[in-house]
């Protein structure tokens, strides 16, 4: 039998899961982001080549294309793909070699050390290019 525990909303929001919980949440969010981006891309491409541009489906296709080509979406997709790949690689390595599991905290720091420059440099360049294009 299970023990029923009542946890208030305040107690649940104060949960301090630490680095592992953050990695878990970001992995789920990035996976959903990738699925949404691919779905939008496929849907836009389908409507683009199967209908006339002036129809409602053509306008939906153009709106979806404008959305996934926008700078915030491109930065989100860069974040999602990089985080999902690097975190997934860490998980695979720890699953393949269980003797490394005691070093999970260190593996997380290596993950962050890889992720931050790989994300911040390209996203910074994208933002600088967008600001330069607006100023010109």
In a domain, 65, yes or no: yes
Instruction: With a cut of 90, say whether residue 81 has pLDDT above it.
Output: yes
pLDDT in tens, 85-124: 999 999 999 999 999 999 999 999 999 999 999 999 999 9
Nearest to 131 by CA among 71, 67, 69: 71
Whether the model pTM is above 0.85: no
pLDDT in tens, 43-56: 888 877 777 777 88
In a domain, 1, yes or no: no
In a domain, 2, yes or no: no
- Identify the domain containing residue 50 by its residue range: 19-135
In a domain, 117, yes or no: yes
CATH of the domain at 119: 1.20.1300.10
DSSP E strands in the chain: the ranges are none
| Cα–Cα dist 133/136, whole Å | 5
What average pLDDT does the chain have? Answer: 88
In a domain, 71, yes or no: yes
Helices (H), 69-103: 71-96
| Cα–Cα dist 34/85, whole Å | 11
> pLDDT band at 127, cuts 50/70/90?
very high
- Predicted local distance difference test score (pLDDT) of residue 65: 87
């Amino acid at each position: 039998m299970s023990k029923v525990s009542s946890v208030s909303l305040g107690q649940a929001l104060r949960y301090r899961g630490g680095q592992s919980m953050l990695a878990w949440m970001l992995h789920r969010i990035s996976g959903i982001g990738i699925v949404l981006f691919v779905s939008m891309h496929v849907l836009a491409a389908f409507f683009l080549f199967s209908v006339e541009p002036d129809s409602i489906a053509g306008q939906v296709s153009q709106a979806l294309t404008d959305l996934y080509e926008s700078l915030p979406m491109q930065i989100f997709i860069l974040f999602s793909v990089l985080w999902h790949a690097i975190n997934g690689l860490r998980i695979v390595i720890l699953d393949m070699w269980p003797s490394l599991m005691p070093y999970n905290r260190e593996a997380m720091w290596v993950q962050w050390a890889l992720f931050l420059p790989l994300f911040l440099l390209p996203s910074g360049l994208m933002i600088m290019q967008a600001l330069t294009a607006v100023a010109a």
